Structure 1
């Protein structure tokens, strides 16, 4: 099932009009299952004390510790009973409108391929480990599950208003690379962090990045990098507050305001930022230098 090209312009042969495909679980090789187990074991050792309570609870409730790549049908049965979500297989990165429609209807799209053994530390495109191990445990949390549904509903409107880039930053800095305050400590919940051995440590323990308390307008103005560790992390006070702000915000005037102002460059600290950690940016300088 290995494939290095997963970004497609139209549904491939055999795919449904909504881009879903069979997971074809029985076709995974022993090596592919072993790759999942290797990645899982490594992260399972790192995440206690680092990952949010909601993530760890979801990991346990969905029985993701069972050996091998999860079967999406069995996983969806468990998830449906908890929050009404299901996991559907897609051939790769899907068009934005397809992505938003699935999310608005509580269907989480996941790639069905897994990285090669020589890609354990980094893969350019999200594979089944990133999508399932990284994202799906948070979907077992009722509040976060509602947040993602609301985000999906808002995606179509953002496309109509020409603000997809701005909304995409909200996803990036929460769903992919978000931190949350729990009992006075910072914890990781973003899928891009919890599925990465190196970034699980970096996001919480490095002196390099800025850690800034979440402000929706600020987040939606802020650029990000896709090819390295983050130089800014935004910290939500709780998942309830993230959901509240999302459902109570009138995004149309917010988009109008955002589009009238320049983007904020990566790693910038603004005067009004509520900064938890003012990063040294030493790592970024070394990588960029």
Structure 2
């Protein structure tokens, strides 16, 4: 699949130089608000025992259970008081440098559109439900909020090393599809999982995927799937440890080391891995055979 950001060069009509646009909350239709409410109710009913408690605290303190698509201005006001972050609307995907610049300055970019009924379980570009329901609750957690800013700062530095592919894998396997070990149990925290009904079940319960202890270099060598459930999930011990590893790592020599190393397949299991579940890969094999 081609890079969806490959043609992103200049902001589209109506967007500012930093690619932000007005959310224009008043334009949402009753049907669009109803779609948000349906998606919210479906996820909120099954996540409490499956997601990290920090996510549920974020939903509560940010009042995201209020009916209808959230107003970014009101949401940002609450979020800024907690961790200094805000939510800004963009027309869709944005260039990497723009994305990193916003994150480094504690601005989370979110699409202002919502999926249609035909896209209820899958859409190619992230919509307001994925971006706000999936990502924003954890931005109310001070440690995870610091990690997100650190990632944005690291992204700006990575632009000069030509290592964005490796850094993207870190985002994918933590921010989007990460698992965390809490109280002896595995919990969800990645936005791509918590905003997906099917993957919220698959990531924890299905014997198919690998579940492997987080290792920074290992993660940054591993390819990922952009159009289906993951074949491997990486499990962190805590947000504090994830932030510590990110801040204490000198990425320049790591990028040089990664450049010389081979990429790992999405289903790879290595001798040195901390394997929590050696997946059967039955799901991926069945999809490949069909």
TM-score of the aligned structures, taking structure 1 as reference length: 0.97
Q: 1:179 offset after TM fit, Å?
A: 0.2
Q: Which residue of 2 aligns with 1:3?
A: none
Q: 1:9 offset after TM fit, Å?
A: 3.3
Q: Which residue of 2 aligns with 1:281?
A: 281
C-alpha distance in 2 between matches for 1:275 and 1:29: 47
4+ aligned runs moved over 3 Å, structure 1: none
Q: Which residue of 2 aligns with 1:121?
A: 121
Q: 1:13 offset after TM fit, Å?
A: 1.8
Please provide the CA RMSD for this pair. Answer: 1.0
- SS, match of residue 160 in structure 1: coil
C-alpha distance in 1 between matches for 2:12 and 2:168: 25
Q: What are the Cα deviations for residues 204-229 of structure 1, in whole angstroms up to 9, with x where unaligned?
A: 00000000000000000000010100
Q: Which residue of 1 aligns with 2:44?
A: 44
- SS, match of residue 16 in structure 2: coil
What pairs up with 1:133-282 in 2 under 5 angstroms? 133-282=133-282
- SS, match of residue 159 in structure 2: helix
Q: 1:142 offset after TM fit, Å?
A: 0.2
Q: Which residue of 2 aligns with 1:90?
A: 90
What pairs up with 1:55-134 in 2 under 5 angstroms? 55-134=55-134
Q: What are the Cα deviations for residues 171-229 of structure 1, in whole angstroms up to 9, with x where unaligned?
A: 00000000000100000000000000000000000000000000000000000010100
- SS, match of residue 220 in structure 1: helix
C-alpha distance in 2 between matches for 1:25 and 1:12: 19
Q: 1:145 offset after TM fit, Å?
A: 0.2
The answer to whether the 8 A contact 1:83-1:142 is kept is yes
Count of residues in Structure 1 that have an aligned counterpart in Structure 2: 284
TM-score of the aligned structures, taking structure 2 as reference length: 0.97
C-alpha distance in 1 between matches for 2:288 and 2:78: 44
C-alpha distance in 2 between matches for 1:23 and 1:192: 22
Q: Which residue of 2 aligns with 1:27?
A: 27
Give 5+ residue unaligned stretches, structure 1. 1-6
C-alpha distance in 2 between matches for 1:227 and 1:119: 13
Q: 1:165 offset after TM fit, Å?
A: 0.3
The answer to whether the 8 A contact 1:8-1:92 is kept is no
- SS, match of residue 155 in structure 2: helix
Give 5+ residue unaligned stretches, structure 2. 1-6
Q: 1:8 offset after TM fit, Å?
A: 4.4
